[in-house]
Chain A
Amino acid sequence: MQQITLLLTSLPDGILLGFVYGVAAMGLTLIWGVMNVINLAHGPIIALGMFGTFFLFIRLGINPYLGLVPIAIAGLLLGVVIYFTAVHRVINAPHLSSLLATFSVNMIIIGLATAALTTSPYNVDFSLGGFKLGSATILGTRLVAALIAILVTGALYLFLYRTRPGKFIRAVTNNRAAAELMGVPSTRILALSFGLGTMLAAVSGALIATFFPFNILSGGGYELKSFVIGVLGGLGNPIGALIGGLILGVLEGIIPTFMETSWVPVIEFGLFVVILLVRPKGLFGAKK
């Protein structure tokens, strides 16, 4: 009985967080799916999104949800810059090159940000109150974050399936060479995809900052979660990433009811490796 109460308290939180994880993972899997590059700078960009909320809200007093717009735009531009400086030259090189190229971006961001911001924790003091749902308390910030995550997923889906650049992105994902032959400007599309990927990362960070304290290294954990979600949900599929995020969130809600919370990462990463071995293309929406 006590366990059920515990479950009911932790599960809703896990689910709400899961949606936000989903957005972070979407950014990673979009890039991965489109250009077969695993963006190891994903974590620091999530962290930059967190600091975006901090500065816009604490220093400029802009509402954190309104602040998502400039953060998204900055994230998009940053991604395009990263693409052209670090990724474009190694896009057809062996995996080691693109992994190390994006990791070097990771090092550059973390190095500069550590010098400027130190690694002490920051906190965005923002609250929307909360309400009781049975024995669980739902925080307003988490509920809104989850709703925004769903909106973002829907928007990305519409963009990919209803707009011309979105269709180009899917064409490049399927077969870059063929898409080029059909006249798709592949370099611009790749840069746009990378920008969208980093935009999603920055937005997820901006949302997370409304309810968790953070520092420049905090993105790392979400980057690893994004890997797990990526193999759960498959590549380049926004809905898959959202479902993968939910699964992870639910797991994080359930596991603490029967073992110590500190076991959560053991289970997560164990699961990750097992899924990689069994279904390397993801549990759902496996394409390619």
Chain B
Amino acid sequence: MKSWQKHLGLVLPLLVVAGVVLWPIITDNVSARESAFTILKAIALASSLNILLGYTGYVSFGHIVFYGFGGYVGLYFVNDHGWSIWAGMLAGGIASGILAFLLGKAILRLRGAYFALATIGINEAMKAFANNFDLFGGPIGMVLNFSVYKAYGGAAEALKMTFYIMAGLTFAALLISHFVRSSKFGLGLLAIRENEDAAEVMGVIAPNAKTWAYVLSAIIPGMVGVLFFFKNGHVEPPVAFPLHSSIELLVMVMLGGQGTVLGPILGAFAYQGMRGYLVTSDFFKDIQLSVSGVVLLLIVLFIPAGAIGWLRHRIPVLRRVLA
């Protein structure tokens, strides 16, 4: 592998994300910042999911559970125990990581659609649980005490700060994705994706590798959850565990190309861009969901490898570059 090619595989994704981060800073526009936040959030979540879906080949339909669970845990500490947003995010990330570790030990034995179904079940069970769990406010959820923002120079400053933290988390997700992809651990994951039994025969300890992939794919979503609920000022069960968002993440990864670093980034960007256009367009705004559905169907039927996968197949030289 030539070194410039290896670097390009990281530089390209970094440039795309840097562009999204700089756009609102340069234009100094609050609504651009909000859009950029949404896109960065999608990129961070989709890149995390890609570690499990794209590298390891396990289809999680309930990945949003880590976002919701981590978010709840973090916000609980920030709100009820006066922790800083940093400590709260750390707690949320760790909580999601531990949840993934425990779940992974159990459900990663399931293959194919059974795994996908189990992840749906877990997400729904967790949502129903949060609905009943008094510490997390039950069905009402938790409302952040606005005085919390004072420590960060008031609400406006705090919101500005969340954007920069989100940018940081997105870069972190991207780096994790890259380093997993180009490591020995990642090669083991790819082998599992292609043929788990054959991978084990070659010495890949699949149960451990899968569990760690699951954990790695859960930590950033947990932290993003804390940050987002902190920014929003409240959390309630349907907002924390929307099954729909889980599937949107799958669509993003699929759209850009699973198993590549750049794919989920482009997919998240394109999907959020499309949604942004559809919800604001006079013609499409009422049937926005249907149009997204048609687009998804066309992708699944005609370019299942996603945009990047399609390019890689057409132009073999790109295989190294678009890692």
A166 on the interface (CB 8 Å rule)?
no
**Quick one: closest B residue to A88, CB to CB?**
B301
CA distance A247 to B305 in the complex (A): 41
CB pair A95–B125 under 8 Å, yes or no, is no
Please tell me if B233 contacts chain A, counting CB pairs below 8 Å.
no
| Contact between chains at A260 and B132 (CB < 8 Å) | yes
Q: Determine whether the beta carbon of B125 is less than 8 Å from that of A269.
A: yes
Question: Closest Cβ of chain A: how far from B145's Cβ, in Å?
Answer: 26
Are A273 and B118 neighbours in the complex by a CB distance under 8 Å? yes
B11 at the A interface (CB under 8 A): no
- 15 A-B pairs (CB sep. < 8 Å): A86-B301, A93-B304, A95-B59, A97-B300, A99-B116, A100-B250, A100-B251, A104-B293, A106-B293, A108-B290, A111-B288, A112-B290, A260-B132, A263-B128, A270-B121
Interface residues in B271-305 (C-beta closer than 8 Å to A)? 286-294, 296-297, 300-301, 304
B86 proximal to A (CB < 8 A): no
Q: State how many angstroms separate the Cβ of A75 from the closest Cβ of chain B.
A: 19
Contact A266 B117, beta carbon cutoff 8 Å? no
Residues of chain A within 8 A (CB-CB) of B301 are 86, 89-90, 101
Contact B113 A86 (CB under 8 A): no
- Chain A's closest residue to B304 (CB) is A97
Name the A residues within 8 Å of B320 (CB-CB): none
Shortest Cβ distance from A273 into B: residue: B121
Whether the Cβ atoms of A111 and B293 lie closer than 8 Å is yes
A 165-210 contacts with B by CB, 8 A = none
Question: Contacts A95-B59, A272-B121, A277-B118; is A86 near B132 (CB within 8 Å)?
Answer: no
Which residues in window 74-120 of B have CB below 8 A to A?
106-107, 109-110, 112-114, 116-118, 120
Distance in Å: Cβ of B120 to nearest Cβ of chain A: 7
B113 partner residues in chain A, CB cutoff 8 A: 36, 38, 95, 99
Per-residue 0/1 for B127-144: is the Cβ within 8 Å of any A Cβ (1 yes, 0 no)?
111011000000100000
Q: What total count of A-B pairs have CB within 8 Å? A: 126
Smallest CB–CB gap between B9 and chain A, Å?
24
The secondary structure that dominates the A interface is helix
Could you tell me if B290 and A105 are in contact, using CB atoms closer than 8 angstroms? Answer: no
Q: B107 to A273, Cβ gap below 8 A?
A: yes
Q: Contact at A111–B117, with CB atoms within 8 Å? A: no
Partner of A266, one of B61, B132, B304: B132
Q: Is the CB of B294 within 8 A of A265?
A: no
Interface check A115, CB cutoff 8 A: yes
Is residue A276 contacting chain B, with contact meaning CB distance below 8 A? yes
Q: A262-B131, A262-B132 are in contact. Are A103 and B296 (CB under 8 A)?
A: yes
**Contact, CB under 8 Å: B59 / A99:** yes
Interface size class on chain A is 35 or more
Complex interface: chain A residues within 8 A of B116 (CB): 38, 95-96, 99
Complex formed: what's the CA distance from A57 to B79 in Å?
Answer: 51
Instruction: Determine if B125 and A273 form an interchain contact, defined as CB atoms under 8 angstroms apart.
Output: yes
In the assembled complex, the CB of B251 is this many whole angstroms from the nearest CB of chain A, namely: 7
Report if A139 contacts B (CB, 8 A): no
Is B247 engaged at the interface, CB distance under 8 Å to the other chain? Answer: yes
Verify A103–B110 contact, CB threshold 8 A.
no
Hey, which chain A residues are within 8 Å of B131, CB to CB? 262, 265
- Given pairs A86-B297, A103-B247, A104-B300, 8 additional interface contacts (CB within 8 A): A107-B293, A111-B290, A112-B290, A115-B286, A227-B117, A227-B121, A266-B128, A269-B122
Q: Cβ of B129 and Cβ of A266 under 8 Å apart?
A: yes
A276: B residues at CB distance < 8 A:
107, 110, 114, 117-118, 121
Say whether B120 contacts A270, CB under 8 Å: no
- A251-288 vs B, CB cutoff 8 Å, 1 = contact: the mask equals 00000000010111110111011001100100000000
